[in-house]
Structure 1
Amino acid sequence: MTEAAAAAGTAAQHLDLTTTWVGILSLIIFVVGYYFIAAEDKYHINKAKPALFAGTGIFMLIGVYFAMNGLDGHHLEKEVEALIYEIAGIFFFLMVAMTYIEAMIDRGVFSALRYNLVSKGYTYKRLFWVTGLLAFFISPVADNLTTALILSTVLITIDKENRSFLVPGAINIVVAANAGGAWSPFGDITTLMVWVDGKGAFSEFLFLFPASILGWYVTAFLLSRFVPDGQPPFNASEEKAVILEGGKQIIGLFALTIVLAVLSHQLLHLPAMWGMMFGLALLKMYVYYINQNAGPTQLNAFSWIAKIENDTLLFFFGILAAVGGLHFLGYLEYFTALYDKFGPTAVNIGVGFLSAVVDNVPVMSAVLKSDPNMGKFVQEQWMLVTLTAGVGGSLISFGSAAGVGVMGKLHGIYTFSAHMKYAWTVLVGYIVSVAVWYMQFIVLHIG
């Protein structure tokens, strides 16, 4: 092995290839890919395409670099295997959640909910608040992504055309789902990571409730000022929408599937997605049962799977792979050194902004792996970074799983540019959340 190859091998071992040509080129690919993701409306290119290209391309370049320098690819192979495991967990979790949502759409669940809301004469503003409150209080149990997918489906069934209602409503759901998930150990992937790593007890997450709900409320109040007056279109002679045969049972199976996902992780030491896949198996068994015993009704579970937003799944694959590549190259390790320089409070607040740009899962993973010095208030700081990583993802439309899911569900309506028009309201809420945390945890020592 040459001296250059040996040096490169040492760099790879310490995950510091940032100054090599592969590190620089990979960073350029990520930035360009990120630009096209953000400019989806301008270039009319689906966000999954640049994300997938960047994610796969970066690791292809790393593989070429290893081959050119005669390096042992065992380390790279292990890193990719770990990344595949992480991506697969999210990928299959999302696939099952989306399949259940398509099943409930097919069975008229959301049409019935929409009819019940609209027929009561609720105004756009009241519907805005109802969907936001539901998102905030469902996400701690069902997780923020699943909650956002469900409520955004309700939103689009209320009014498919009124963007002045749909865009603020979508942002409200994303913010509420992320804020609601921040105070529950299994409300978001990042909170689950912190809990499993032993950085906080179950009860400690619950103390984030005041910061979460007040931050969301401020954002929702500001957004509500842009929601139009009046009521969504409703014809009094419109036939009452009802849940079709099997719909209520599918709702029950979906709730059971979420419970199975939580129990799989907490009690059985299996990935959460394993419980979700078992729930998918139960759904398919139920479809078989109803097709055999329910008369003329014939359901097709594969048709539901075919309707899910595959571009959302591929976007997640691409963006997680791309960030995983940057992590392997050493880029995500740099910011942890800032803790000693600027202090944990400032850096943990900054993690929220970084989470919005990159993705909160790998950012939190980097924080946990580096285990930085959190200073005097260790538990309080871990709660802060949990709050900021979860809530901070709302600052940009695709900064969180919930945002990406809603972008897929409200394709062409809830976009990056549409979100950024109202992003300042999210920023105000973020500042309020951090201020409440500081007053509660540092000043009053409650938590």
Structure 2
Amino acid sequence: MPRFTPPLLLLLLSGLAGPAAANLAATVPAATAGPALAGVPLEFLLFAGVLGMVAFSHVSTMLTALWGALAITVYKLLWAPFGEGAGLAGLLGHAGHEWVGLANLLALLLGFALLARHFERSHIPAVLPHYMPDDWKGPLVLLVLVFFISSFLDNIAAAIIGGTIARSVFRNKVHIGYLAGIVAASNAGGAGSVVGDTTTTMMWLAGVAPGQVLHAYVAAGVALLVCAVPAARQQHAYSPIVKDAPDGVRVDWLRVGIVAFILALTIGANVLLNTRYAAASGLFPFLGAAVWLAILLSGLVRRPDWHELPGALRGAVFLLALVWSASLMPVEALPPASWPIALGIGFVSAVFDNIPLTALALKQGGFDWGFLAYAVGFGGSMIWFGSSAGVALSGMYPESRSVAQWLRHGWHVPLAYVLGFAVMLALLGWHPEPMAH
């Protein structure tokens, strides 16, 4: 008989999420659970400690995440079983289960960093002020553009493109509240599209029809409006958009073509894998390989700026360490599906990898998939390391790596999350649906 345990991580979130997050406890089979303190598995305490140091200490976030991942791995190896078994065999089995997702994430983060540099050097961002309003509505238009791009492109790329444009049109002075707005817009844009976010793609592969997540755009649209307007006003007050492009700037259409080629190959590989070769998608990081194939081929005509990789690698290693640590948590099931649980999942996804949360929800069933897609997608925007889009953007703007500053200046993001959820619930109601197949 499974027992419910209240992980410290979720209890820490209860102050933000209220009863929903406090009730979102993990189910751990007693026969396979390791040591616990007051009913809380010790790996949760270790993970909560790592997240606390990342959020509030001045130690290197990358080193903190790496040492934390190592400590949790060694603990599991010696004293607690992995989901795939105990000891070295369990560790190898778990690594074999996770490596494709981690490799894809690494390849996308590094590849999109090079894509962003191609886009910047195409001079498209420099000429955009000719076509954008020069008051606070200019930053607002950019956030809407990021939202639109993310509906058909991975949210990492959408956030990086948005950050690249912002760096140009705001003279390298981008407000942290606006950076939070870019991440929120990229995550909102992918919430209702099965090709716009990893989590919605997972739902599609598991049998959720594209139309079953489409209504997430009701909440996402409200959330975009709620956070985009104050974020745009913050940015305008901090550093207004440039009124005119520099003289003599010419668009490098070859680099524009390279960006389009990389994006087209990425989208094509994603759609092809999900529609024709879904069974093989877990065998190899095909999506990441497609991005790098496009980069290497296009490098024959325009050399990528390889010096961008060290900085991108630091952010990627940080995120991979957190994702690996999250995958080691003994979370076997979620409480029975309901809208308060879905609301709480969004808050939890701000600090806990949303991929395993989505996998658990799919395994359990009983959710309104549009609500779940919105929660796991947009919820990660509330903290800078809560989503891969935020981590990728922090590589361009290191000043954003502060939970306190992110929450202080990006206050509109959690507000937008709750209001978006509330509006969708009021207009559409909670309607759990079985998967299409």
Calculate the TM-score normalised by the size of structure 2: 0.81
| 2:92 is equivalent to residue 93 of structure 1 | no
In 1, Cα distance between equivalents of 2:323 and 2:432: 37
Please state how far the C-alpha of 1:234 moved relative to its aligned partner. Answer: 6.2
Structure 1: which 5+ residue stretches go unaligned?
1-10, 291-298
> Over the residues paired in the alignment, what is the CA RMSD in angstroms?
3.2
- Residue 173 of structure 1 corresponds to 182
The residue correspondences of 1:65-104 to structure 2 (distance < 5 A) are: 65=79, 73-104=88-119
In 1, Cα distance between equivalents of 2:236 and 2:352: 33
| 2:194 is equivalent to residue 182 of structure 1 | no
Deviation digits for residues 299-327 of structure 1, max 9, x if unmatched?
4347256355111110121001111111x
Please state how far the C-alpha of 1:429 moved relative to its aligned partner. Answer: 1.2
| 2:287 is equivalent to residue 300 of structure 1 | no
| 2:350 is equivalent to residue 333 of structure 1 | no
- Residue 440 of structure 1 corresponds to 427
- Residue 48 of structure 2 corresponds to 31
Q: Select the residue among 138, 142, 148 that pairs with 1:131.
A: 142
| Structure-2 change in CA distance of 1:160 and 1:16 (3 Å) | farther
In 2, Cα distance between equivalents of 1:15 and 1:85: 25
Give the residue type in structure 1 aligned to 2:190: G
Moved more, 279-288 or 81-90: 279-288
| Structure-2 change in CA distance of 1:97 and 1:261 (3 Å) | farther
| 2:132 is equivalent to residue 118 of structure 1 | no
The residue correspondences of 1:301-316 to structure 2 (distance < 5 A) are: 301=304, 303=306, 306=309, 309-316=312-319
Q: Secondary structure at the match of 1:184?
A: coil
| Structure-2 change in CA distance of 1:127 and 1:234 (3 Å) | closer
In 2, Cα distance between equivalents of 1:306 and 1:359: 24
In 1, Cα distance between equivalents of 2:310 and 2:133: 30
Does structure 2 retain, via aligned residues, the 8 Å contact 1:222–1:425? yes
- Residue 195 of structure 1 corresponds to 204
- Residue 229 of structure 2 corresponds to 221
Deviation digits for residues 124-177 of structure 1, max 9, x if unmatched?
5122112101111110111211100111111122234535xx323211111111
| 2:399 is equivalent to residue 412 of structure 1 | yes
Please state how far the C-alpha of 1:250 moved relative to its aligned partner. Answer: 0.7
Q: Secondary structure at the match of 2:328?
A: helix
Q: Select the residue among 21, 24, 36 that pairs with 1:19.
A: 36
| 2:358 is equivalent to residue 349 of structure 1 | no
Give the residue type in structure 1 aligned to 2:75: L
Q: Select the residue among 255, 260, 283 that pairs with 1:252.
A: 260
Does structure 1 retain, via aligned residues, the 8 Å contact 2:118–2:259? no
Moved more, 47-56 or 226-235: 226-235
| Structure-2 change in CA distance of 1:264 and 1:276 (3 Å) | farther
Q: When the two structures are aligned, how many residues end up with a matched partner?
A: 398
| 2:352 is equivalent to residue 358 of structure 1 | yes
In 1, Cα distance between equivalents of 2:351 and 2:86: 32
Deviation digits for residues 255-309 of structure 1, max 9, x if unmatched?
2222233134222334394144234223323323x3xxxxxxxx43472563551
The residue correspondences of 1:392-411 to structure 2 (distance < 5 A) are: 392-411=379-398
Deviation digits for residues 175-199 of structure 1, max 9, x if unmatched?
111111000012111111112111x
Please state how far the C-alpha of 1:78 moved relative to its aligned partner. Answer: 1.2
- Residue 16 of structure 2 corresponds to none
Q: Which has a greater percent of helix?
A: 1
Does structure 1 retain, via aligned residues, the 8 Å contact 2:140–2:229? no
- Residue 295 of structure 1 corresponds to none
| 2:304 is equivalent to residue 284 of structure 1 | no
| Structure-2 change in CA distance of 1:426 and 1:305 (3 Å) | closer
Please state how far the C-alpha of 1:71 moved relative to its aligned partner. Answer: 5.7
Moved more, 418-427 or 382-391: 418-427
| Structure-2 change in CA distance of 1:445 and 1:364 (3 Å) | closer
Q: Select the residue among 198, 204, 210 that pairs with 2:218.
A: 210
Structure 2: which 5+ residue stretches go unaligned?
1-27
Please state how far the C-alpha of 1:445 moved relative to its aligned partner. Answer: 11
Moved more, 181-190 or 166-175: 166-175
Calculate the TM-score normalised by the size of structure 1: 0.79
| Structure-2 change in CA distance of 1:304 and 1:186 (3 Å) | farther
Q: Indicate the percent of aligned positions where both proteins have the same amino acid.
A: 20
